[in-house]
Amino acid sequence: MIRVTVWNEFLHERTEEKIKAVYPDGIHTAIAEGLAAHGDVCVRTATQEDPECGLTEAVLAETDVLIWWGHCRHHEVPDEIAERVWRRVLDGMGFIVLHSAHLCKPFVRLMGTVCRSKWRENDEKERLWVIEPAHPIAKGLPEYLELPAEETYGERFEIPTPDELVLVSWFSGGEVFRSGCCWRRGLGKVFYFRPGHEAYPIYYREDIRRVLYNAVVWAQPSGGPHPTLGHFPTPLEKVAMADHSDEFHP
């Protein structure tokens, strides 16, 4: 089983009637429902309203893949929690960052850039082209996905060049955007997926749910070895040992 935690700042759905009508139980619940339909996923949710943002050491230790949706409350996530997430990713936890979560603290720290982009709310059509059909995240997808109305994001998106770029968006207003980006950080894998503005029912769509499920499968820990880092005094092979005991090795 892949253990997934879906995290949401959970603000708009509580404070704006228009958004509450789209996601009455919160964006996190809609995403979790889509994943729970798969027999190999065990899903839980957490929100910024929970103690320690719902991301205690224990929760993160039991999380193979963390999905993060946030927009207006990034700065309210304590640095200590952001660092905890960052460390878990480097230690192998998958991290899927959705839409406006590109500015959340753990993602910005993992990327090392400002991660900003252009944006406009104008109900424009978004067409997401699958440009890497052989990638695991593209499994079962058509050649492109079409969202009739979405918030528009535009390049330049201030991210490091992705290790793999799976999806590219075109908007009817003319912008383009790298909307499905993969990176490796430490032992962990990171996927950024652009769609999911809170005013549109994007996370109920089967094709979007397919992308998220594929991303979970891709981002789960590989099961590979934990490398040895730092001072390693005993050679694997039998060799003569030099005496460097008087030298300083940081």
Sheet holding 94-98, edge to edge: 41-47, 2-8, 65-69, 94-98, 188-193, 176-185, 164-171, 118-130, 144-154
Name the residue with tokens 């994007």: 202
Residues 83-122 that bind Zn ion (CB under 5 A): 100
Stretch that binds Zn ion, among 174-182, 190-198, 217-225, 231-239 (CB under 5 A): 190-198
Query: Is position 64 an interface residue for Zn ion (rule: CB under 5 A)?
Result: no
Q: Which residues contact 67 (CB under 8 A, 6 or more apart)?
A: 4, 5, 6, 7, 31, 96, 98, 212, 216
Residue 153 has φ and ψ, to the nearest 5°, of -115, 150
Q: How far is the CB of 99 from Zn ion (least distance, A)?
A: 6
- Residue 85 exposed, middle or buried by CB count within 10 Å (0-12, 13-18, 19+): buried
Q: Report the residue number, 74 or 197, with the smaller CB distance to Zn ion.
A: 197
Q: How far is the CB of 202 from Zn ion (least distance, A)?
A: 10
Question: What ranges in the chain are assigned the alpha helix state H?
Answer: 12-15, 17-22, 27-36, 57-61, 79-90, 105-111, 206-219
Residues 42-61 that bind Zn ion (CB under 5 A): none
Q: Report the residue number, 124 or 151, with the smaller CB distance to Zn ion.
A: 151
Of these, 178, 197, 209, 210, which contacts Zn ion (CB under 5 A)? Answer: 197
Helix (H, G, I), strand (E, B) or coil at 122: strand
Give the H/E segment covering residue 190. Answer: strand 188-193
Q: Report the residue number, 100 or 214, with the smaller CB distance to Zn ion.
A: 100
Residues 143-172 that bind Zn ion (CB under 5 A): 151
Q: How far is the CB of 76 from Zn ion (least distance, A)?
A: 18
Number of residues that bind Zn ion (CB under 5 A): 3
Tokens representing 89 are: 């990713």
Q: How far is the CB of 197 from Zn ion (least distance, A)?
A: 4
Q: How far is the CB of 98 from Zn ion (least distance, A)?
A: 10
Q: How far is the CB of 193 from Zn ion (least distance, A)?
A: 13
Give residue number: closest CB to Zn ion. 197
Q: Report the residue number, 105 or 197, with the smaller CB distance to Zn ion.
A: 197
Q: Report the residue number, 95 or 200, with the smaller CB distance to Zn ion.
A: 200
Q: Report the residue number, 99 or 105, with the smaller CB distance to Zn ion.
A: 99
Per the CB < 8 A criterion, the answer to whether 133 and 152 are in contact is: no
Query: Quick one: residue 222, left, alpha or beta (phi over 0 = left, psi -120 to 50 = alpha)?
Result: alpha
Q: How far is the CB of 176 from Zn ion (least distance, A)?
A: 17
Residue 52 has φ and ψ, to the nearest 5°, of 55, 30
Contact residues for Zn ion, defined by CB under 5 A: 100, 151, 197
